Amino acid sequence: MAKWIGQAVFFLLFVLGVGFFSRAPLYHYLDKNEALIRLSVSHNGQLVGECRQRTAEELNKLSRNMRALQDCPRERSPVTIAIEFDGKPLYHEVVQPSGLSHDGASTVYHRFTAPAGEHRLAVRVNDSVKVKGFTYQREEVVNLRASQVLVIDFNHQQGGVIIK
């Protein structure tokens, strides 16, 4: 009988502990008048080199499963991302492509806190070493509410920089 009472007391203490720590201590993710800006981009840069047409002689030398008409390099361009917040530089980085052959996506995730209110946000992306400057740009006036999470993403099929 003492064994059952001890087990009941243990479970009661466990449940009370879980209940207490689910409510306390209080944790505030952001300050009262702050918003969060999340930069989350995973993008394949443009190919570094040009594709070339293989000749009929080259194709005949290859096994049947390797007979692609074009020979393209694998290496991709690094992706440059620059963000300005109210006219001041907030973030600037050149993100190298992943993979041993530098043929994967360039991936970046970064968080910034910002005061609530109206702000001018400019995001610029370059995904080609062949182009000087930026290949994609987006400037927008955003009205950040307290505790809002604003996401900056990139999708070249949807026009480039996405701010949502």
Find tokens 């918003």 and name the residue: 35
Answer yes or no: are the C-beta atoms of 131 and 70 closer than 8 Å: no
Q: Does position 43 have pLDDT exceeding 80, yes or no?
A: yes
Q: Does position 29 have pLDDT exceeding 90, yes or no?
A: no
pLDDT mean over 124-147: 95
**Exposure string over 32-61, b if 16+ CB within 10 A, otherwise e:** eebbbbebebbbbbebbeeeeebeeeeeee
What integer pLDDT is reported at residue 123 of this predicted model? 97
pLDDT in tens, 73-122: 899 999 999 999 999 999 999 999 999 999 999 999 999 999 999 999 99
Residue type, 57: E
